[in-house]
Amino acid sequence: MIVSLRDAVASTSGGKAATLGALLRVGLPVPDGFVIPFDVYRAAVRGDGRDMTAGGIGAHPLPAGLFDALAPALRGLGDVSVAVRSSAAGEDTVHASGAGQHESVLAVRSVEDVAAAVLTCWDSLHSSRAIAYRSDPGDDHLLDGPVMAVLVQRLVDAEVSGVMFTPSGSEGATEIEASWGLGPSVVGGTVTPDAYRVAADGSVTRTVSDKRTRLDRDGAPFATGLVTRDVPTVDRDRPTLDGATVARLARLGHEVAALLGRPQDIEWAIAGEHVWVLQARPVTAAPPPAPSGAPVPFGAVLTGTPASHGTATGTARIVHGPADFARVRPGDILVCPYTDPAWTPLLRVAAGVVTEIGGVLSHAAIIARELRIPAVLGIPDATTTIPDGAHVTIDGTTGTIRHSSPWQDAAGTSCSTALRPTCTQLG
């Protein structure tokens, strides 16, 4: 009913758990844990007749046998806070990353909280975003239907964490993004991380960002879960990594990629002096290279970070949250503060994506590349600089955006705010 992470294989425990198990077996720094395999999910669904829709699986309690098995398994990890994460069939594969499409529940400890987190992971297999992600006609690796294993690991109380893409060839560069606190800030795109590019000769190019928030385990007595805190002003533009740590991460990335036989998308965390590998999966779509040459003057064109290749032209649609989703039409350019993985259905509708914050290795950027729609990140105040309804051209390869006013007079001339009563709104 419960499998040690060291014994996990893809056929029973999913790609995420199997890869971490393989790394653990050869002595790489992976937090220990255990897996609730596919068969337990299948038995629970069939035995209880659970509703296979979002919310339906979680409406039933965890099967009694599994609940009873959790207590000794958690004691075996040392009765510490744990991360409860999905390891679904078809996730973390060469076909599709599944980046951010299923739920993870971090910083839980009691048997009751872990049981609830398992149900949350199972339930997320049938969420609207997961269904939308699996709707790609090329998803023939899911012919047997979706099924979920669940991975439970020791939680790393990270001071710094992030994502690393290993190079695709001997002359390629390792791309690293890092920010303060736990990893969801980086992978979820809620902070613009520091970026480090390690060339084949070991030279490092560094871009330090203004990191305003961090995510940590709630350390209050008897508390569980996470808390978002403001980063002290002195640390916001302080580099998260020194040169030695960047080199150490790059070497670890090369070791993981060599063992697994292909370029890897690696989530990592640093606690004290120890570097941990939290996840490794094949790179399904590499980001565009950093733009070269002089930047385009701001004011003529908005310039940000290129995150997904391609160009698109459409109507700008400002989206701040789910209340705005219904306004997005096919072919619109999505302009938002950041792209939450829950917004995956919108990415299948939009022709392109513009964000104010976030990194090119975040979940949403990965999904944009898999869907082959252009994305430009890190445009400060994009939701106020670009008018809703404006005519927008986005170039995700160069990181540039051109836009015009959504208002024009009868002659087609753009109008000022004062003249808008005599104008027509486009889009």
Catalytic (active-site) positions: 363
What is the DSSP secondary-structure string of 149-186?
EEEEEEPP--SEEEEEE--SSTT--EEEEEEEBSTHHH
CA 369 to mean position of chain CA atoms:
12
Reference 165, options 189, 188, 197, 194; nearest CA is 197
**Could you give the CA distance from residue 360 to residue 368 in angstroms, rounded to a whole number?**
10
Report residue 319 as tokens: 């989206």
**Residue 186 main-chain phi, psi, to 5 deg:** -80, -50
Task: Provide the 10 A C-beta neighbour count for residue 318.
Answer: 21
Please return the burial class of 274, using the count of CB atoms within 10 Å of its CB with bins 0-12, 13-18 and 19+: exposed
Report residue 395 as tokens: 């170039």
- Mapping DSSP to helix (H, G, I), strand (E, B) and coil, where does residue 305 land? strand
**Could you give the CA distance from residue 25 to residue 343 in angstroms, rounded to a whole number?**
36
**Could you give the CA distance from residue 271 to residue 135 in angstroms, rounded to a whole number?**
38
